[in-house]
Amino acid sequence: VTDFCLDWSREARTGLHEAVLCAPKTGDQIQAICAHAMQARQRLLLTRLSPRKFEGLSDATRSALDYEPVSRTAMLGGAHPPRGTGRVIIVAGGTSDARVAREAARTLEFAGETASLVIDVGVAGMWRLMERLDDIRTHRVVIAVAGMEGAIFSVLGGLVPGVVIAVPTSVGYGVASRGKVALHAALASCASGLVVVNIDNGFGAAHAALRILGREPSPPGG
Amino acid sequence: VTDFCLDWSREARTGLHEAVLCAPKTGDQIQAICAHAMQARQRLLLTRLSPRKFEGLSDATRSALDYEPVSRTAMLGGAHPPRGTGRVIIVAGGTSDARVAREAARTLEFAGETASLVIDVGVAGMWRLMERLDDIRTHRVVIAVAGMEGAIFSVLGGLVPGVVIAVPTSVGYGVASRGKVALHAALASCASGLVVVNIDNGFGAAHAALRILGREPSPPGG
Amino acid sequence: VTDFCLDWSREARTGLHEAVLCAPKTGDQIQAICAHAMQARQRLLLTRLSPRKFEGLSDATRSALDYEPVSRTAMLGGAHPPRGTGRVIIVAGGTSDARVAREAARTLEFAGETASLVIDVGVAGMWRLMERLDDIRTHRVVIAVAGMEGAIFSVLGGLVPGVVIAVPTSVGYGVASRGKVALHAALASCASGLVVVNIDNGFGAAHAALRILGREPSPPGG
Amino acid sequence: VTDFCLDWSREARTGLHEAVLCAPKTGDQIQAICAHAMQARQRLLLTRLSPRKFEGLSDATRSALDYEPVSRTAMLGGAHPPRGTGRVIIVAGGTSDARVAREAARTLEFAGETASLVIDVGVAGMWRLMERLDDIRTHRVVIAVAGMEGAIFSVLGGLVPGVVIAVPTSVGYGVASRGKVALHAALASCASGLVVVNIDNGFGAAHAALRILGREPSPPGG
Amino acid sequence: VTDFCLDWSREARTGLHEAVLCAPKTGDQIQAICAHAMQARQRLLLTRLSPRKFEGLSDATRSALDYEPVSRTAMLGGAHPPRGTGRVIIVAGGTSDARVAREAARTLEFAGETASLVIDVGVAGMWRLMERLDDIRTHRVVIAVAGMEGAIFSVLGGLVPGVVIAVPTSVGYGVASRGKVALHAALASCASGLVVVNIDNGFGAAHAALRILGREPSPPGG
Amino acid sequence: VTDFCLDWSREARTGLHEAVLCAPKTGDQIQAICAHAMQARQRLLLTRLSPRKFEGLSDATRSALDYEPVSRTAMLGGAHPPRGTGRVIIVAGGTSDARVAREAARTLEFAGETASLVIDVGVAGMWRLMERLDDIRTHRVVIAVAGMEGAIFSVLGGLVPGVVIAVPTSVGYGVASRGKVALHAALASCASGLVVVNIDNGFGAAHAALRILGREPSPPGG
Amino acid sequence: VTDFCLDWSREARTGLHEAVLCAPKTGDQIQAICAHAMQARQRLLLTRLSPRKFEGLSDATRSALDYEPVSRTAMLGGAHPPRGTGRVIIVAGGTSDARVAREAARTLEFAGETASLVIDVGVAGMWRLMERLDDIRTHRVVIAVAGMEGAIFSVLGGLVPGVVIAVPTSVGYGVASRGKVALHAALASCASGLVVVNIDNGFGAAHAALRILGREPSPPGG
Amino acid sequence: VTDFCLDWSREARTGLHEAVLCAPKTGDQIQAICAHAMQARQRLLLTRLSPRKFEGLSDATRSALDYEPVSRTAMLGGAHPPRGTGRVIIVAGGTSDARVAREAARTLEFAGETASLVIDVGVAGMWRLMERLDDIRTHRVVIAVAGMEGAIFSVLGGLVPGVVIAVPTSVGYGVASRGKVALHAALASCASGLVVVNIDNGFGAAHAALRILGREPSPPGG
């Protein structure tokens, strides 16, 4: 019995590549999955790979991975050649949300989509957001990333005609300590037509954006 | 054994008048309390008095009360002569919050404070709020009333220099069905210095405003 | 002070029409809003309008409304002329979810989008879903509506390349009694790229679909 | 006063052997319990024995134990001679659930029951499950192990005629961070006749399977 | 579009008959489902059918149904001829749990299994339970039904060698007001090998018992 | 099968009489229990018997019961002859808590213990409590009844040397809407040695007081 | 400003000695409090003093303390001379509850009360409890300590005439992970007259027992 | 892309200075923010800066900061010259709340407001509070800081005429383990006109006090 089973045909079926969530896995499991993918000559995105777990991988695996520590993501086999740009913008409420915002950006990059990234544009200083509004409105998909009370989700939802994907983050303390307040604020927003993903799920928001942008099969080299 | 005990000296001690929360009381208890106050020639504010319970009171009691059904408040002995105006503004996010906003306004009126009232100025239509902003900023205390995700609390907190008292309401459904989302959003707001009262507690917000405005003993006629 | 404030410019700004959530409003408030809209010759969608509240409106208002009791929606000024079809499919897990599924369908119809509707295609009888799968996969947006444990969200997410908008419903009992289980199942799904709206929010899912399909200003006749 | 009291007659009464949950116990307590069992020449299963706690036991105790680190179980006195096979299959949704699945397998093995084990057969890649379905259906008891949204419980429940025991796991993040979503999904499943045990309770699922398979007193050598 | 879809092949697949949960359905939907089943000459079990909803059905439908008001169940097409007896016993902690216990008994009866029923055998009067213990121990499956703190689940689990299916009920007040305490007590029980179903789910417990007893296809006359 | 089973030997075993919680029982069940007790010539206390359910009982049963509507209790066979007085005092925070306080008083009276009762002595008007303090301190058991934030529990606990039994009530709204805040405040109190019973459980507090006062078997006439 | 303020007159007022909860305090704060008490020649009980914090205290302080690591308690100035025995028994459900049971025993010992202690007498092996029952029934106060589902509280409450103080513990996992299940089971118990203290609060249970046993001022030497 | 964006104009707009919450930020982010502020010659308050993170900053940054470890605050550019005194008093319930009380004091000091500080004046020893009451009543704003059950909020609210800002803290265990009990007690207080901030939010309470005291633009030297 092996403890894993990769899904190389997923891209054909849903247009989305296989990815591995590393947080609940042991180092041995991650090592085995990477070895399997390298042998099968398949591309793979690893998310929630902590620096400590990354350091514990074999030299061969580490050198095969393109690792980025803020987002805690690693690409095996490199990013897809660019397929689109100017269609997705990622807006993060505060500095502490950068980690999740960059996970979304890296996931899009892995799929060949280049996203814009704007960080620390909170609601308490509304004009910072207003200065950027015209630019934000030109994008088809806005990924909004925020913790605490998540007021930025409603503000953006009321001002932007495109799709707004809210990514609540676990930034906050007291009543907001695990991200539930931002999550619920996004779901209960008075701005209609917002859609929401799980707390800290930058990866999922990026995949949702890819589903929205279209699902052409990736080119042969992909 | 009687089941109640009124506190006529409260005003001397805290500057705030005695009030009676009617929701958890029986009609008999409310009737007895009113009779006692009339006999003692004391003013009294009744809150959360449903139309049905009001109808069930004796004719004498009903005619002694100044009842207002939207706010579900009744004044016994009338409002205090005007003491202040232009110091408090009540801003409600939506039509459904009117009930709570008017409870705050009536409580202030009972104490002699005349408040401005602005209803249905939500965040999803931000410019409605912006048009009012200069006026709002001239008040020393802003009572913000909102349900659902309560984004208006953070927006006001970032734009207004005075005190912002957030009153979350139980307006909403799904995750927001009992007001917890708006409450938590107010507490977790990224705008610093907001203060918060219990869900639907327009009365409490008004009393907090009175504490902020000062606590001079009311004049003899009060 | 009036207790409401309609937003006729919302469509220009976000491509979405003004709508009124009736559940937390009194009959008087709904009546006043309808009168205002009729006077302003504006179209309006009313949601969560219970048969009892609908019966309580004036004759003139009732006859101006196109009311549908299962979805509890009413259109004032009629639906938008058809703009699109074959792009959105609504899939409901059980008979009890029909109410929410039809709210989504009516909201889309009001905006000129004709959606397909498939009801009672649950996971416990998987092949019912499988028989429909080829048809479902041809749509750009799938609105999945389910209560209880919401397993259908993950099953669809793994089989469909387009956008899947999960609408959890408050159908269920015991641990599932208010829709939280289906909501959390949608958010925690192992199928990546699902997006989620609030419990019972068929209206919001429809608006999200409209944002995804594009945001051209509506034609003059709209 | 000693702090423990073992129950050697439990097997006669319920057909199930004594076992010790190590997580909330100190190393000293575990050491004393093992010493007592060795002296009494009794077999004992230890669960949730972390590698660190195992390392801290005396050499004599460690060498008397058959320890397996993934499942964190140790057998004292060895497994029961084989009594049954082909009756129980353990199906785990993802790699991260292996830990719990293997705890169930070891508990069955300790009682003389050999179970099949299938890992990483999730719902997002449904056909992986479908390929295995004919095999799964031949077993009298299916122990289904899954975290996150636990959709696999409903899918199996709808396709399998035997007993399905759902073991939710604490694999997940955000709303699913401690296993509550998978637990509630199992309890609220639209597939009827599922039974559920506590989060991460592979041991309990195995004992339930043993109760289902029958309760003959163990043979003299046991 | 019809709003329902019955699953007549379910019995072949899982050995369990189609059933309809009436609580979240409208009278019209229930009426239509019954009509459909009668036309298709299929047996059907209806659960959670309140007396008021039952009274609202057409005369023809009412006379075709075998309705029992305590359990709120109705059989269409009658019970299956007896297939087994003496294998299942239903033990209810208190009088208030009778409703759920009888739902389980009726569901078993519909499938041809005759269960024993013992009501009001609580833990606070332990000897009432002890007097019955020898009888209880002769059954292969014990369905234990209890609300409040559900202590009876653990007591039975420690004394009985067969399968114990715990059905927590929503009987209780204060912390126990919706059945969560009994549910959690069953899941966290110190007696190993208990299995649990959703709160008030007598129907599900009966189906689980049927899965345990075996899954032979029902005879032709079924 | 009858649906109930009374425990006439309970008093011998625990010193406490049999009692029946009526809220979750049907009128038929209550009627049957009363008939059984009258036939067996046993005393019985009924709690949470709503006026409507009381009215629905047979004339014979109603005339045999001593019913008190505020506490919603009924005694069958009358109260025990007085056994003690001056040992228990019941202190209620507000008028709305009278219902629960009186349930405790009636339960004590049924057992022959006469309790003092003080209502509406809240913390917000502390001196009301202080005026009574010397009297309160002379009692061996203080039953404190309060809803909302339950601050009175801590205040009494710090000032009184005897036993303080906290009875949180479901009086309050917003965060306090079902009594959880008062319950948790009692449990988390900084005053050591408080003991707590379930929300609204005046009956349980009285029984705890009886356990504290001693457990002599009741005299023959009891 | 010093950060603490000890209450040497508490014993005169409530019959209970001053005690210090160390868990939320820094080592410096604990050190300062001990120094202050030693200088004032006052006895002091320290609870929740972890071995690590104890090791960090000064040599002088450590040698003045009587520290016991399982209960994590320390006495300064020694225990009170014995005042009572045979009146309190502490019954712990499992080995893992020993920590809390011993905190209660030490707190009683500090006050001069010698308690019996019985550990690992769970409900799953009921006869272990039954063998002890006659002895347990001779005590005036039973302190019952249990985690997981806390069934032992109800079993004892139904069998014992004296006061039963339930101390739920944070022993358990999954739904029981922080002690809420045992707490709620104690509060919702079907055995009437149980009283409850906070999770893991062995200290509080001991103080409650002292309140019950009487409140004579301690003798001069105390 | 830089990951932060400071708001130097905030003081002009709201009268409150820019501040940085360090807990969710990495050392690199804090370092960069400080460097940016020093270069811009702006004053900055850092909160929740743990000693370990402070030690990890560069020598230059550390020497530019006025760091205080109990409150975990650091001032860059020093405190504002004194502007007011005798207007705010901070009252902490227990020693363990000192950390939060001192955060409030430091935040006020940074803005030029000198607050009084009284620590360990709990409700269980009420007279400690009463001795201080006359002094407390002379202040315009009382910041009350307490964990566990937060009874002090209600006691102060009933005795003091000025504004009472409740700051619940995460001090407590069992049901009170993360501060929710104190928070809810403050919100549900029977003393009217209390206002509340998030758990442990000493900083926010100080900003609220500054909003209450007035919002004059700071003098040029500020």
pLDDT tens, residue by residue, B86-136: 999 999 999 999 999 999 999 999 999 999 999 988 777 777 888 899 999
CA H214 and chain centroid, separation: 17
3-state secondary structure of D47: strand
Closest CA to E193 of C84, G156, D183, D201: D201
Chain C nearest-CA distance from A202, in A, is 10
Residue A45 near residue A108, CB atoms below 8 Å = no
Residue H220 has pLDDT above 60, yes or no: no
Question: What's the pLDDT at D220?
Answer: 38
List the single residue in B119, B121, B174 with the smallest CB-CB distance to C198.
B174
CA distance H8 to chain G (A): 34
Chains D and C touch (3+ CB pairs under 8 A): yes
Confidence class of residue D222 from pLDDT cuts 50, 70 and 90? very low
Share of chain C above pLDDT 70, in %: 94
Q: What is the rounded CA–CA span in Å between residue B22 and residue B67?
A: 13
User: How many beta-carbon pairs below 8 A join chains A and C?
Assistant: 87
Residue found by looking up tokens 């009258």 in the block: F38
- Which pLDDT does position H216 carry in this prediction? 43
Binned at pLDDT 50, 70 and 90, residue B41 comes out as very high
Q: Residue G186: what residue type? A: A
The verdict on F117 touching B (C-beta cutoff 8 Å) is yes
Contact F49, F72 (CB under 8 A): yes
Tokens of G174: 């999954």
pTM of the model: 0.94
Q: Can you read off the two tokens belonging to residue E127?
A: 């000897």
DSSP state of A99: H
Q: In this complex, do A201 and D120 lie within 8 Å of one another by their Cβ atoms?
A: no
- Write down the H helix ranges in B15-79: 27-39, 51-55, 59-64
Measured between CA atoms, how close is C95 to chain D, in angstroms?
12
Widest distance between CA atoms in chain E:
57
Split at pLDDT 50, 70, 90, the class of H13 is low
Residue pair G140/G87 in contact (Cβ under 8 Å)? The answer is yes
Predicted confidence (pLDDT) at residue B9 exceeds the cutoff of 70: yes
Q: Two tokens at F71? A: 């506490």
Which of E62, E60, E89 is closest to E74 using CA atoms?
E62
- Identify the pLDDT of residue A11: 73
Question: How confident is residue F147, by pLDDT bands cut at 50, 70 and 90?
Answer: very high
- Contact list in B for residue C21 (CB cut-off 8 A) is 96
Q: Do A194 and C197 touch (CB under 8 A)?
A: yes
Q: DSSP string covering chain C, please?
A: --S----TTHHHHHS---EEE-TTS-HHHHHHHHHHHHHTT--EEEES--HHHHHTS-HHHHHHEEEETTTTEEEES-PPPP-EEEEEEEEESSGGGHHHHHHHHHHHHHTTEEEEEEE---STTHHHHHHHHHHHHT-SEEEEEE-TT-HHHHHHHHH-SSEEEEEE-S---GGGTTSHHHHHHHHT-SSTT-EE--TT-HHHHHHHHHHHH--PPPPTT-
F-to-H residue pairs, Cβ atoms closer than 8 angstroms: 117
pLDDT of D8 reads 75
Q: How far apart are CA B117 and CA B205, in angstroms?
A: 14
Average pLDDT over residues D25-39: 93
- Which of H218, H205, H108, H116 lies closest to H164 in space, CA to CA? H205
Residue D193: its pLDDT value, please? 93
Q: Provide the terminal-to-terminal Cα distance of chain A, rounded to the nearest Å.
A: 31
Does chain B reach chain A with at least 3 CB pairs under 8 Å?
yes
**Which one of A14, A193, A199 has the shortest CB-CB distance to C204?**
A193
Residues of chain F neighbouring E147 (CB-CB closer than 8 A): 24
Look at strands B195-196 and C141-146 and give their pairing.
Answer: unpaired
CB contact under 8 A, F189 and H149: yes
Q: Rounded to whole angstroms, how far apart are CA atoms D8 and A178?
A: 44
Closest residue in B to C32 (Cα) is B95
Q: Which chains touch A (3 or more CB pairs under 8 A)?
A: B, C, D, H
Which is higher by pLDDT, H12 or E109? E109
F124 pLDDT higher than 90: no
Residue C129's pLDDT is 87
Tell me the average pLDDT of chain A.
Answer: 91
The shortest C-alpha distance from B200 to chain A (Å) reads 17
What pLDDT score was predicted for residue F177?
Answer: 87
Measured N-to-C along each axis, helices F151-159 and F126-137 cross at an angle, to the nearest 10 degrees, of 40
- When comparing pLDDT for F41 and C220, which is higher? F41
Q: What does the pLDDT read at residue F84?
A: 92
**H4 at interface of A, judged by CB pairs closer than 8 A:** yes
Residue pair H21/H30 in contact by the 8 Å Cβ criterion: no
∠ CA D215-D220-D221, rounded to 5°: 110
Residue D150 has pLDDT above 90, yes or no: yes
CB pairs D-E closer than 8 Å: 88
User: Which chain B residues are closer than 8 Å to C23 by Cβ?
Assistant: 173
Alpha carbons C79 and C70: distance in angstroms, whole number: 17
Contact (CB<8Å) H210/B193: yes
Is the minimum CB–CB distance between D45 and chain E shorter than 8 Å?
no
Among the partner-chain residues H160, H161, H197, the one whose CB lies closest to the CB of B196 is H197
Q: Which of B5, B36, B145, B203 to mutate to test the interface with F (most CBs of F within 10 A)?
A: B5
Percentage of chain F lying above the pLDDT 90 cut: 79
> Is the CB of D120 inside 8 Å of chain A's CB atoms?
yes
Question: Which of residues 23 through 42 in chain F touch H, CB cutoff 8 A?
Answer: none
Q: Do E21 and E216 touch, CB atoms closer than 8 A?
A: no
Coil, helix or strand for F126? Answer: helix
In one letter, which amino acid is H212?
I
Cα separation, E210 vs E16, whole angstroms: 8
What is the reported pLDDT for D6?
76
What pLDDT score was predicted for residue A112? 95
Percentage of chain C beyond pLDDT 90 is 79
**What pLDDT digit, counting tens, does each position of E16-50 carry?**
788 999 999 999 999 999 999 999 999 999 999 99
By Cβ distance, the residue of F155, F172, F175 closest to H123 is: F155
Min distance F108 CA to chain H CA atoms (Å): 29
> Over the stretch H122-149, which tens digit does the pLDDT of each residue have?
777 777 888 899 999 999 999 999 999 9
Q: Is E125 on the interface with F (CB under 8 A)?
A: yes
Looking at residue B220, its pLDDT comes to: 38
Structure tokens, H151: 């009874």
Region A132-156: mean pLDDT is: 95
Q: What is the pLDDT of residue G1?
A: 65
Q: Assign residue C72 a region (left: φ > 0; alpha: ψ between -120 and 50; beta: otherwise).
A: left
Report chain C residues whose CB lies below 8 A from the CB of D187: 174-176
CA A84 – CA A114 distance, rounded (Å): 6
- What DSSP designation does D182 have? H
DSSP state of G84: E
Give Cα separations from H175 to B42, C143, G47, H100 (angstroms): 42, 40, 18, 20
Strand order, beta sheet including C141-146: A113-119, A84-92, A141-146, A163-168, A195-196, C195-196, C163-168, C141-146, C84-92, C113-119
Please tell me the distance from the alpha carbon of residue H94 to that of residue H100, in angstroms, as a whole number.
Answer: 11
Separation between Cα atoms, residue G176 and residue G170, nearest integer Å:
8
pLDDT of residue C1: 65
Region label for C30, one of left (φ > 0), alpha (ψ between -120 and 50) or beta (otherwise): alpha
pLDDT per 10-residue tile (average), chain E, 222 residues: 74 78 93 93 95 96 96 96 95 94 97 94 79 93 96 93 96 94 96 96 97 62 33
Distance CA G195, CA G186 (A): 8
Chains touching D (3+ CB pairs < 8 Å): A, C, E, G
G-H C-beta contacts closer than 8 Å: 51
G114 in contact with chain D, both atoms CB, cutoff 8 A:
no
Residues G128, D3: C-beta atoms closer than 8 Å: no
pLDDT digits (tens, 9 = 90+) for D186-219: 999 989 899 999 999 999 999 999 999 985 433 4
For the four alpha carbons of F208, F211, F212 and F217, in that order, the dihedral sign comes to positive
Is B198–F95 a contact, with Cβ atoms under 8 angstroms apart?
no
Query: Is chain C in touch with chain H: ≥3 Cβ pairs within 8 A?
Result: no
The span from the CA of H16 to the CA of H10, in Å, is 6
d(CA A20, CA A110): 13
Distance between CA atoms of C189 and C185, rounded to whole angstroms? 6
pLDDT digits (tens, 9 = 90+) for D86-99: 999 999 999 999 99
Average pLDDT, chain F: 91
Exposure of F93 in the CB half-sphere (CA atoms within 13 A)? 28
In three-state secondary structure terms, H215 is: coil
Q: In sequence order, which residues have a C-beta less than 8 Å from that of residue D212 and are 6 or more positions away?
A: D140, D141, D163, E163, E212
> Which of H96, H98, H173 lies nearest to residue G200, judging by beta carbons?
H173
For residue H111, which residues of chain B lie inside 8 Å, CB to CB?
A: none
Give the pLDDT score at E138. Answer: 94
Which of E5, E179, E200 is nearest residue C121 as measured by Cβ atoms? Answer: E5
The arithmetic mean of pLDDT across residues C68-85, rounded, is: 95
Looking at residue H159, what DSSP letter applies? H
- Please tell me the predicted confidence (pLDDT) of residue D188: 96
The pLDDT, as a whole number, for residue C38 is 94
Longest dimension (CA), chain G: 57
* CB-nearest partner of H188 from B188, B198, B215: B198
Return the DSSP state at A184: H
Judge contact between D203 and D104, C-beta under 8 A.
Answer: yes
Q: Are C58 and C32 in contact (CB under 8 A)?
A: no
G50 touches D: beta carbon within 8 Å = no
CA distance D196 to G168: 24
Model ipTM?
Answer: 0.93
**Are H88 and H209 within 8 A, CB to CB?**
yes
Helix axes E126-137, E151-159, angle to 10 degrees: 40
Count CB atoms within 10 A of the CB of residue D213: 21
Task: Give the model's pLDDT for residue A219.
Answer: 40
C128 touches A at CB < 8 Å: no
Q: Which residues of chain G have pLDDT under 50?
A: 216-222
d(CA E179, nearest CA chain G) in Å: 10
CA distance F172 to F151: 13
Q: Do F193 and G187 touch (CB under 8 A)?
A: no
